[in-house]
Structure 1
Amino acid sequence: MSDRFDCGECKESLYGRKYIQVEDVPHCIPCYDRLYANTCQECKELIAHNKLEYGGSAWHEDCFVCHGCEKPIGGQSFIPDKDVYYCVPCYEGRFAPRCSHCKKVNQGGVSYKDETWHKECLVCTGCKSPLAGQPFTSQGDTPYCVKCFSSLYAQKCASCNSPITGHGKYVSFQDRQWHQPCFKCSHCSVSLVGSGFFPDRDQILCGDCNNDQEDQ
């Protein structure tokens, strides 16, 4: 009697049949699939070959598809989101931050008022110069460079009518402001910074000029 050559699991003869050996024990294909083959996470069918594995699960190549475009991901990069998977273009289209100005996908860029902007999109509303990397301010939700903001919205000096910015010291009195170098007697032009002065309608006078005016 010839030696038997049987499946180590079901004991059926393997003569003339395909088999797979596991630790020196031959298995017929049905028994091998039942015992060792992976089950596709998507279709729940056995995976004989060409499988994709991720996170302890396996798929047929054609079953591992993007949740957005439903195209097979294959060997492309993908991004998991909970229990689904996206190709990179679909993930960016759905979830990536977008520039507040042009609405296109923005990777990196700058942040302003809790929103992201491309560096080239964050510009002064007045002169259109780039604002990234330099001090700027806003009027409401509208960004301005310091120069444009000062020109449009800053308090004006009561003497020279130029904007008063935070870069220099100034004097304030009765809802009027002066640059320190501009705070001078309206008659003799002596500096009134740190000195007593007397308002006279729209003018400000030093003590001597005020006395001269009272004597007239």
Structure 2
Amino acid sequence: MSEAFDCAKCGESLYGRKYIQTDGGPHCVPCYDNTFANTCAECQQLIGHDSRELFYEDRHFHEGCFRCCRCQRSLADEPFTCQDSELLCNDCYCSAFSSQCSACGETVMPGSRKLEYGGQTWHEHCFLCSGCEQPLGSHSFVPDKGGHYCVPCYENKFAPRCARCSKTLTQGGVTYRDQPWHRECLLCTGCQTPLAGQQFTSRDDDPYCVDCYGELFAPKCSSCKRPITGGT
């Protein structure tokens, strides 16, 4: 008499039937699936022994159930992202949650280098100076009238220029006859003394310190020959 060969779960004979061997003994297929198979997180059905099973963050899926919750694309062999427990393919994730580049209109992909300013986002290579059109990257820039300028371009385009040397004034400066001057450029026409911060006067639009103006243009006392100025 042959030895009994029965399912360890239901006790039915396994002769001539498909079975699966476990540490607890042989099991018929229905008993094996009911005892050991995981439940699919998507369809809530058992994942049978002959099904390809996918596992992600303590959740089990049939291969066909592991898909993007928006476009239903299979994620079995695709990169994906989990957002609020929902599985999303990269295209759907980028469309829903990524920023659009303000210059080219394309999606700024997660993990790519980007720049943000004033509530807008750019690819790093799309954030260009409005003057020379070179990437600004991490360099200093100046926003003006909807554009963004590197410092040299901004100074060349917008910064005031000294009435004497015509170079840009990047800081400081003085005003003479409604024109900007470098402090070091506003000099007495006679002795070349800097006039910024001291009293001076002008003749024929040329500035003079008080001493030079008196010596050159003020009337002289007929007795002492010294210049007669307003303070004399």
CA distance in 2, matches of 1:189, 1:162: 23
Partner of 1:94, secondary structure, is: helix
Alpha carbons of structure 1 residues 115 and 189: separation in structure 2 relative to 1, 3 Å: farther
TM score, norm. by length of structure 1: 0.82
User: Residue by residue, what CA displacement relative to the aligned partner does 1:101-140 show, whole Å, maximum 9, x if unpaired?
Assistant: 1121231133444543223322222332332243321225
- The answer to whether the 8 Å contact 1:109/1:117 transfers is yes
Q: Alpha carbons of 1:130 and 1:2: their partners in 2 closer, same or farther (altered >3 Å)?
A: closer
State the distance in 2 between where 1:140 and 1:203 align. Answer: 36
User: What residue is the counterpart of 2:131 in the other structure?
Assistant: 126
In the alignment, which residue of structure 1 is the partner of 2:155?
150
Greater Rg, structure 1 or structure 2? 2
The two structures, once aligned, show a CA RMSD in angstroms of 2.7
- Higher alpha-carbon deviation: 176-185 or 68-77: 176-185
- Compute the TM-score of the two structures, normalised by the length of structure 2: 0.77
Q: How much identity, in percent, do the aligned residues show?
A: 37
1:213 maps onto 2:217 in alignment: yes
Tell me, what secondary structure is at the counterpart of 1:59?
strand
Unaligned runs of 5+ in 2: 221-232
Give the match for residue 34 of structure 1.
Answer: 34
Partner of 2:226: none
Once the two structures are TM-superposed, the CA of residue 193 in structure 1 deviates from its matched residue by 5.2
User: Is the contact made by 1:196 and 1:207 (CA closer than 8 Å) also made in structure 2?
Assistant: no
What number of residue pairs does the alignment pair up? Answer: 212
CA distance in 1, matches of 2:17, 2:36: 18
| C-alpha contact (below 8 Å) 2:201/2:210 kept by paired residues | no
Distance verdict in 2 for CA 1:83–1:159, change over 3 Å: same
